[in-house]
């Protein structure tokens, strides 16, 4: 374990720790402690320094722990992890998995990357995903999916349902789904999902599902978000970060198994139960094209968003458009 990682663990409770005490625990000088503290603040962590009291984090964090994450999963799910990396910092957990030389051998195995901080987190359509250190959950899951099933559509929606159910399992109430794969808490965005696909026509595809969930967004980072957002601290439910990560990985294994076997059909009812936009006026935007206005009418068997305009209902697919509720 690096000195910096150990320092974060010593500060994780949010209580003040003197420079002298930290130096003794780390076997370094007080000046070296200060240098490491400054490096932490450069990653976006909020560290308070008070003369005579020492240092503390602006808010407590629960460090990621690979062993605890594994323990929160069933033995069967844990045995299917071909690779499982828990990182302090990476540009993007999905890009990290893309760079691996070896991809998953089959749909029964997966590679997973979880990080404390993303320096270049990505959302849909090239948007930035704000990813401060230790505050949220940034997880990517890579596996193979049948090309025929992918062609049938709806994988993005199935993954969203799996993540929503993991949050429900951990006790989070008042959740909803916004097409194609955003998860909302009390009407504001809590989590997002980004799928990256690669493969040849007719064969299996490598799918990387990137999941970002706001757990406790620092005020400084929140200023960078340009839409209504929520985090799990607002739910009143105490969430164990490592248990949530393990639950999501297990749910993704189960969801991808179902999707490979039955396609979107296995997830349609759950989607309909939590659909936030069906029956509401919506606006669709496709690049530089005029805005399409209509009323959302749910999804079709392939996961396309159904929109009614002037009495005619048409389906729009993931990747074609971005969706917002009409003002």
| Active site positions, annotated | 124, 189, 324
Q: 281, 293 in Cβ contact below 8 A?
A: yes
Residues 126/92, Cβ–Cβ less than 8 Å: no
Supply 166's token pair.
């993991």
DSSP 3-state of 11: helix
Residue 84: CB atoms within 10 Å: 16
DSSP secondary structure string for all residues of 235-296? GT----HHHHHHHHHHHHHHHHHHHHHHGGGGGHHHHHHHBSSTTSEEEEE-TTSPPEEEEE
Kindly tell me the sign of the dihedral angle through the C-alpha atoms of 67, 70, 71, 76: negative
| DSSP summary character for residue 319 | T
Cα distances from 234 to residues 112, 123, 129, 216, in angstroms, run 28, 22, 20, 8
**Chain-centre distance for alpha carbon 192:** 6
How far is Cα 260 from Cα 147, in angstroms, rounded to an integer?
A: 9
CA end-to-end span of the chain, whole Å?
51
Question: Exposed, middle or buried: residue 173 (CB in 10 Å: 0-12, 13-18, 19+)?
Answer: exposed
Instruction: Tell me which residue has tokens 């935007």.
Output: 285
């Amino acid at each position: 374990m690096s000195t910096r990682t150990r320092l974060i663990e010593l500060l994780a409770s949010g209580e003040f720790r003197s420079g002298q005490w930290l130096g003794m625990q780390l076997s370094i000088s007080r000046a070296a402690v200060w240098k490491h503290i400054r490096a932490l603040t450069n990653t976006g962590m909020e560290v308070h320094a008070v003369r005579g009291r020492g240092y503390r984090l602006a808010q407590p964090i629960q460090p990621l722990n690979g062993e605890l994450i594994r323990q929160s999963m069933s033995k069967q799910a844990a045995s299917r992890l071909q690779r499982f990396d828990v990182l302090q910092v990476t540009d993007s957990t999905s890009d990290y998995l893309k760079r691996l030389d070896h991809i998953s051998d089959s749909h029964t195995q997966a590679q997973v990357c979880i990080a404390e901080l993303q320096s270049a987190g990505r959302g849909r359509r090239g948007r930035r995903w704000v990813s401060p250190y230790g505050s949220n959950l940034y997880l990517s899951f890579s596996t193979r999916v049948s090309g025929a099933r992918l062609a049938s559509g709806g994988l993005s929606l199935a993954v969203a349902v799996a993540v929503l159910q993991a949050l429900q399992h951990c006790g989070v109430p008042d959740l909803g789904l916004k097409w194609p794969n955003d998860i909302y808490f009390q009407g504001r965005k809590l989590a997002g999902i980004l799928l990256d696909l690669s493969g040849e026509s007719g064969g299996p595809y490598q799918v990387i599902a990137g999941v970002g969930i706001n757990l406790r967004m620092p005020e400084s980072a929140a200023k960078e978000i340009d839409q209504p957002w929520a985090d799990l601290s607002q739910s009143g439910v105490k969430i164990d970060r490592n248990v949530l990560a393990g639950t999501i990985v297990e749910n993704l294994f189960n969801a991808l198994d179902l999707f490979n076997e039955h396609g979107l059909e296995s997830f349609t009812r759950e989607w309909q139960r939590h659909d936030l936009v069906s029956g509401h006026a919506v606006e669709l935007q496709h690049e530089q094209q005029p805005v399409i206005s209509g009323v959302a009418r749910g999804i079709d068997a392939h996961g396309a968003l159904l929109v009614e305009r002037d009495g005619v209902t048409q389906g729009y697919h993931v990747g074609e458009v971005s969706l917002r509720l009409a003002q």
